[in-house]
């Protein structure tokens, strides 16, 4: 049986994991975002205690991906193939850094020039203007490179960040303007801002929250954070050190799952932490396409269909996205060949190997720079709708 202290610790972690993404978003709201946002009731003692408690939780509750392999070899192997396991890199250790070192990027839209180099302090981007050059160390590269990778700097003196103006686009095999920055107007005249988009500490933490397993303790500045890169097993399943240790002596079942992923609503909320099921009404439709749970919830299949319909109805949550047309066809026909469901007009003529329900009812839509996403709003798509 769990000791009462362990139970309290696990309940706390469970609350953090399930509701807010392994503590990252929760901590972003409770950690200071610069001197002007420091909460009046916080003091050094309380911040230090909170930090110690958080660091103790991380040190004592997380097992790490390697601890899962012996009992879950197939899931572990699939996870290593997925984008989730390769979505955050130290820039100076990345393959992209080796490609860019010694090269220059010139932005086609405004002419700004960025020179890349590997120096003693790390990988740097030198942004040149008419009168000065500003050098920023590039700390992190975010994204799996399935579509793109964007660089972020941690500005230590300001406890803030910089999303660089350049992004690597895999489909073009070259750099281009970072999505969302085409209309960005830097504040002030500083060339530092011209290197990209300024990010507050909270924006950095929330952005990193979808590329890391855990992040800052309360009171930590961004430069102090021991970020744990990538979406590991425990980002979705919760800290499992007690479970993995019990498994070594044949008592794994003593520590039940922390997250009930058999509940479709729980699963959807978990995926939506990053893939999002809510989008601001002002968001252009082409940008909404990126947020698969939001679009799926608009579909009649979801609203009036089986209550079990969720992300894993079609996707293996551990593996990279499948491009097997026949697999998706069969998933659709599991429902749409039943008497109580609407029937496909082409049901009798479907060739599972070549026909594609997805291309008609979930067409790809272009988002940015040639990147396409499958629109998860399942419906009868009107002709030319994809051109909006």
Q: Within its chain, how far is the Cα of 182 from the centroid?
A: 22
Q: What is the mean pLDDT of residues 189-212?
A: 81
Beta 122-128 vs 113-119: how paired, if at all?
antiparallel
Given a contact cutoff of 8 angstroms between Cβ atoms, the answer to whether 181 and 197 are in contact is yes
Asked which of 41-50, 217-226, 244-253, 340-349 is least confident by mean pLDDT, the reply is 340-349
Q: Give the pair of three-digit tokens for residue 309.
A: 């319909």
Delimit the domains of the chain by residue range. 4-85+211-254, 88-208, 264-387
| Alpha carbon separation from 269 to 84, 277, 314 (Å, rounded) | 17, 8, 16
Q: What is the mean pLDDT of the chain?
A: 82
Residue 25 has pLDDT above 50, yes or no: no
pLDDT-derived band at 22, boundaries 50, 70, 90: very low
Given a contact cutoff of 8 angstroms between Cβ atoms, the answer to whether 344 and 336 are in contact is yes
pLDDT-derived band at 237, boundaries 50, 70, 90: very high
Whole-prediction pTM = 0.83
% of residues, the chain, pLDDT over 70: 79
pLDDT-derived band at 33, boundaries 50, 70, 90: very low
pLDDT at site 388: 46
Q: Give the pair of three-digit tokens for residue 7.
A: 């139970």
Residue 183 has pLDDT above 70, yes or no: no
- Cα angle vertex 300, ends 294, 306, to 5°? 95
According to DSSP, residue 191 is labeled H
Residue 368 has pLDDT above 50, yes or no: yes
Q: What is the mean pLDDT of residues 199-207?
A: 92
């Amino acid at each position: 049986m769990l000791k009462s202290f362990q139970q309290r610790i696990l309940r706390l972690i469970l609350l953090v994991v399930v509701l807010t993404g392994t503590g990252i978003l929760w901590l972003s709201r409770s950690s200071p975002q610069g001197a002007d946002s420091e909460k009046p009731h916080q003091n050094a003692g309380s911040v230090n205690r909170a930090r110690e408690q958080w660091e103790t939780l991380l040190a004592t509750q997380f097992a790490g991906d390697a601890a899962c392999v012996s009992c879950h070899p197939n899931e572990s192997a699939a996870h290593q193939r997925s984008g989730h396991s390769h979505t955050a890199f130290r820039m100076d250790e990345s393959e992209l850094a080796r490609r860019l070192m010694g090269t220059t990027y010139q932005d086609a839209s405004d002419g700004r020039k960025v020179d890349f180099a590997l120096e003693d302090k790390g990988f740097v981007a030198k942004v040149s203007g008419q009168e000065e050059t500003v050098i920023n160390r590039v700390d992190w590269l975010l994204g799996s490179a399935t579509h793109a990778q964007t660089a972020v700097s941690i500005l230590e003196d300001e406890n803030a960040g910089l999303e660089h103006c350049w992004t690597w686009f895999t489909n073009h095999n070259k750099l281009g303007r970072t999505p969302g920055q085409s209309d960005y107007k830097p504040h002030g005249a500083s060339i530092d801002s011209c290197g990209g988009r300024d990010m507050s500490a909270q924006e950095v933490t929330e952005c990193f929250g979808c590329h890391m397993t855990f992040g800052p303790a309360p009171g930590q500045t961004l430069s102090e954070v021991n970020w744990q890169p990538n979406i590991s097993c425990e980002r979705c399943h919760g800290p499992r050190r007690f479970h993995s240790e019990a498994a070594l002596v044949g008592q794994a079942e003593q520590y039940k799952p922390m997250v009930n992923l058999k509940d479709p609503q729980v699963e959807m909320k978990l995926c939506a932490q990053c893939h999002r099921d809510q989008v601001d009404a002002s968001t252009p439709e082409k940008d909404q396409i990126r947020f698969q749970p939001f679009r799926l919830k608009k579909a009649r299949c979801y609203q009036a269909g089986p209550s079990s319909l969720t992300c894993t109805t079609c996707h293996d949550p551990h593996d990279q996205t499948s491009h097997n047309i026949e697999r998706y066809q069969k998933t659709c026909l599991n429902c749409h060949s039943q008497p109580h469901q609407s029937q496909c007009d082409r049901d009798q003529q479907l060739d599972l190997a070549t026909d594609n329900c997805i291309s008609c009812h979930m067409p790809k839509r272009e988002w940015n720079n040639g990147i396409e996403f499958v629109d998860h709003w399942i419906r009868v798509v009107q002709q030319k709708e994809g051109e909006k």
